[in-house]
Structure 1
């Protein structure tokens, strides 16, 4: 694993911990840093990271606190507080 990938994993863990502790602004900064790092190094963000971050406002999503999670016909709909929706299929 490259140094950039390890740092992205560490930033993901920090974003999760700070978002659960209630510091949304700091978690948003960790998400932005991880995304910039992945872009610079042409890396793909891990699936768990992509699923729990908002593409519009860079918030780390905590279901029940700043995100609503609903199931529909064959997909999961995750709605951020900013109003952005993300849909993910499931079987």
Structure 2
């Protein structure tokens, strides 16, 4: 099996584990999973899944759960604005 494929599978499992940990309230374990997934992606030069990348904070490595530790707003019909509790803000375009 290709090394990149193994890395992608491991990143996917870490993403699922980070989400489960964050929903269970274990934020520190979720942060460690996010950090490890990012490190694996950098080492093997493969990207993170879009859903995982957009729901993690680049500043504090938290797995973002809307309503719990993140605010999600729509901006004038063209962007989704996600703000983490740490104050970091990300904007992503969307289509109708």
Give TM-score scaled by structure 1 length: 0.98
Find the counterpart in structure 2 of residue 80 from structure 1.
84
Distance 2:65 2:26 in 1: 12
Q: What are the ranges of 5 or more consecutive residues in structure 2 without an aligned counterpart?
A: none
Match of 1:66 among 61, 66, 69: 69
RMSD: 0.8
Give TM-score scaled by structure 2 length: 0.93
Find the counterpart in structure 1 of residue 25 from structure 2.
22
- CA drift of 1:52 comes to 0.5
Q: What are the ranges of 5 or more consecutive residues in structure 1 without an aligned counterpart?
A: none
Query: Which 4+ residue blocks in structure 1 deviate beyond 4 angstroms?
Result: none
Q: Does 1:7 align with 2:10?
A: yes
Aligned length: 91
